[in-house]
Amino acid sequence: MEVINAIGRRKSAVARVYLCEGTGKIIINKKELTEFFPSAILQYVVKQPLMLVEADGKYDIKANLDGGGFTGQSQALRLAIARALVKVNAEDKKVLKDAGFLTRDSRAVERKKPGQPKARRRFQFSKR
């Protein structure tokens, strides 16, 4: 099997994933998964698509993560892994889509507007 690549985005985080057959190692920015994401919750989020299609120990994953915070990065990585799994096996698409792992979460921070302290907050109104 050749190397399959996919991309995932969330907020301002971008994850590029390279998936190939192997023993289930996940390397992120040249670090192990447990080293890059010490939180068990974030490790679970990353492994969700693999566990759903029972491919937890079948593939080696190398990922480049850039931008955003750790939550956005983990969710971008989840999307990229799910997209790569669909490229490997098209029958997994329905299961992953029903679980919501193939949907790009487009919510991002709203920009700050001029004349306001934040995006929607306005300065206190004074009548006099």
Quick: pLDDT tens for 44-73.
999 999 999 998 889 999 999 999 999 999
The helix or strand, by DSSP H or E, that contains position 46, with its residue range, turns out to be helix 40-52
**pLDDT tens, N- to C-terminus, the chain (128 residues):** 789 999 999 999 999 999 999 999 999 999 999 999 999 999 999 999 999 999 888 999 999 999 999 999 999 999 999 999 999 999 999 999 999 999 999 999 999 999 999 999 999 999 98
For 116, the 3-state DSSP assignment is: coil
Residue boundaries of the structural domains of the chain: 2-97
- Would you say domain 2-97 falls under CATH 3.30.230.10? yes
Distances (CA, A) of 98 to 8, 52, 61, 83: 18, 11, 23, 14
